[in-house]
Structure 1
C-alpha cells in the first residue's frame, strides 16, 4: 500500500514534469483506486494558481463499459473529451486500471476505441500538442498481472519516482554528449540482439523528470514518471537487425504479457512474419496486424512497422523487467526500440501504435560519428564515463 505521506512530494514531481504555471487548466485523470492522490495533484495545481479538473472511474466501471458498448459505439469520437482536451493546457494521467488484465478480453473493442480516440490523441500528442505526463502506479491487481509482489512493484514504480533528479539530469547530459554528432549506433547483447540505427541529425530527448522552456521550445512536451532515459527518433528508412526482448506487454490491450520476443527488421521496417515469441506469439502478431491495418486506413501506409525510437535506460532504482513498459524501459543497462509513432519527439511517422521493446540489461552500445570515429557508450550494461 503506497504511503499517503509521500503524496505531496509525488504531486510536486508531477507539476515539475508538466511545468504547471498560474492560470493553467490541468486535466487530471486516473482510477478511483488512486482518488486521494489525484486530489493531491489537484490541490498542488490550485496552489500554483492553476485550474484542476479531475476525472476518475473504477476498474469495474471500465470493464462494464467495455462489456456494454458495441464496436460501432466505441469507434465514435468522444465529443465531451474532445472539448476538454481542446480547452486544457496540460494533461496528467495516472495508471487508470487497478487490474489491467481485464483488457485482454476486449481486443476488438479496444482497437475500436483507439480508432475513435484518434482525433483526441492528435490534439494531445500531435502538433502543436499539449503538455502531458503519464505516471505509473502500483496495485494488488497490477502486481498479480505482472507476477511480482506488491512491495516489488512499489519499489520499481514509486521508488523509481523518488530519486535524485540532479544525478539523473547529469546522466542524461552525459549520454547526450556522447551521442552528439553521432551517425550510427550499433547495439549487441549475449542474447541475440544485434542491430544498427541511423540517428544523424535527429533531436536527442532527455527524460529527466523536469519540463524546461528549452524542451517546450523544440516541441518536447511529454514525459513519464518514473523518468530516466534519453531517447531519439532514428531515421525511418535505415536500420536492420535483431532485437531480443525478454518481456513485454501487448500494446493493444496492455493486458497480456508476451515473453521471449525476437524481432527482425530491415531498412527501418519491422518484418512481422519473422517476429517470434516464446509465449503469446499469436498476440504479438495479431496486434502488429491490427495496428498496421488501422494505420493503412488512417494514413495509407503501414506506419506501425516503422522504427520509431531508440531509448537508453538510466533510472538508478529500476533494475528488472516485469512487463510494465513504463518502468522496464528505464532499466539502467538496457536499451529499447519502439515501432510506430515518432512525430511527437523529432521523427516523421504518425501512427496509432508506439510499442517499445526493451532488451536485457547487459547491452553493449557503440556510437559511430560522422567522421568515422567510434566510441563505446555502454559495455555489458555498464554506462562508460
Structure 2
C-alpha cells in the first residue's frame, strides 16, 4: 500500500475527526475507496474505536432511484438511528464513474433529496468528515494521468494544517468584524451580501475548527440579503450534468434570474427544490495554495486559493447566532468563481482585502 494512503488515514482519524477510544464511528466507503477504507479501519482499531462500515456506490444509487417511483420513504428510522447514535461519520469518497447519475430525472433526484433531508441533518449533527481517495475516474474527470492526480490529491491533503489554520485566522477575524462583503469581477459580476452578526469558520480540515472536509483550506460564513449578479466561470459537474458559465441575479436575497451556457435546466431544478434553495447558504473563500488547478471535484476546487464559492441552499449552524436557524433547504450546492483575474477584488465594508486573487498579507498583493 502507498505510504501516502496510510498518512491520509492517519490525518483523517487524528487531525480531522479527532477519534478517541470508545467512539462509535460510521465509515461510509465508496466503491473506489477500498484501500483508504482498509487504512482507516486499521487506524480506528489502533485507537480502540468502534466501527460500522457502510458501502456507497453511485451506480447502486442510480439503479435504486431509476427503478423507484418518486414517493420515497421520508427519513427511514433504521438509517436515522445509525447516525443518531454515532459520534463520527467518515465519508471516504472515490467514485468509479463521475457521470453515473446523469440519466436520473431531475424530478427523481429532487424528490430523493427532499425525502432524505432529515437523514442529512442527522449525519451533520455528528463529528462528520468527508474526504476523497484518488481514483482513475476522478483523474480522467480532472484531465490528468492517474499518477499525476495522486500527487495532486496528496499535495492538497498532506499539509501542515496548523500553519494554514494560522494564516486563515486573519481572514476569519476580518469577516467576523465585518457587515458586508462585495465581490467585483467584471461587468457581469458585482454582488453584495450581508454578513452582520455572523461567525466565520476557519475551515482547517478538523472538527476542532468546525471544519468537516479533508482537504480543506477555506474560510466560510452564512450570507444574507444578497443583491446583484455573479457569473460562476469554473465548470462543474452537478447531478451528472456539466454546468458552465452560470449567471445568477439576486434581488432581496432571492434568485430572480438564471442563465448558463450549459446545464441551465439542472440549475433551475436545484433552485426550485424548496424556498431555501433560491437563497445563498454559504459564502466560502478558498485559501489552499496546495490546490493549483480545477479538477471538477468540489471538495478540491472550492478550496483552491484565489477562488470564491457560493452555495445555494442550507446554511451551516456554526456561522449563525445562537437561536437563529438560518437558511433551511434540502440542498447545499456550491458554485465557484475564479478571482485570479486582473481587476477582481473582494471587499469587506468597502476595504479591499483581496485583489486579483491575492490577499493583502501575501507578497503578490498590489494595493
Contact 2:65–2:104 at 8 Å: present in 1 too? yes
Match among 267, 270, 288 for residue 252 of structure 2: 267
Equivalence for 1:87: 85
Q: Check if 1:306 corresponds to 2:314.
A: no
Task: Work out the CA distance in 2 between the residues paired with 1:155 and 1:194.
Answer: 36
Q: TM-score, normalised by structure 2?
A: 0.88
Mapped contact 2:176–2:199 kept (Cα < 8 A): no
| TM-superposed deviation, 1:111 | 2.5
Q: Deviations 1:181-223 (Å, cap 9, x if unpaired)?
A: 11111111247321111112201101112222xx4xxxx3x51
Q: Which sits farther off after the overlay, 135-144 or 81-90?
A: 135-144
For 2:57 and 2:316, how far apart are their aligned partners in 1? Answer: 32
Residue ranges of structure 1 left out of the alignment (5+ in a row): 296-301, 369-373
Q: Matches of residues 325-344 of structure 1 in structure 2 within 5 Å?
A: 325-344=298-317
Partner of 1:376: 352
Q: Quote how far apart the aligned CAs of 1:231 are.
A: 0.4
Alignment of 1:54 onto 2:43: no
Which residue, 327, 338, 345 being the options, matches 1:360? 338
The equivalent residue for 1:106 is: 104
Question: Residues 152 and 284 (structure 1 numbering): CA distance in 2 closer, same or farther, change over 3 Å?
Answer: farther
CA distance in 2, matches of 1:111, 1:152: 35
Q: Secondary structure at the match of 1:247?
A: coil
For the 8 Å contact 2:277–2:313, the answer to whether it is kept is: yes
Which residue of 1 is the match for residue 365 of structure 2? none
Alignment of 1:349 onto 2:327: yes
Q: Do the aligned residues in 1 keep the contact of 2:235 with 2:243 (CA within 8 Å)?
A: yes
How far the C-alpha of 1:71 sits from its partner, in A, is 3.0
Deviation, 1:136, is 2.1
Does residue 231 of the first structure (1) align with residue 216 of the second (2)?
A: no
The match for 1:7 among 5, 8, 19 is 5
Per the TM alignment, residue 265 of structure 1 is displaced from its structure 2 partner at its CA by 0.9
Query: 1:309/1:166 Cα in 2 relative to 1: closer, same or farther (>3 Å)?
Result: same
Alignment of 1:240-319 (within 5 A): 240-249=227-236, 251=238, 253=239, 255-271=240-256, 274-289=257-272, 291=273, 295=274, 302-319=275-292
Question: 2:187 & 2:96 partners in 1: Cα distance?
Answer: 33
Note if contact 2:227-2:252 (Cα within 8 Å) is conserved in structure 1: yes
Aligned residues: 351
Counterpart Cα distance in 1 of 2:57 and 2:309: 32
Query: Partners in 1 of 2:294 and 2:336 — Cα distance?
Result: 8
RMSD, matched Cα: 2.2
Structure 1 residue 269: Cα displacement: 1.4
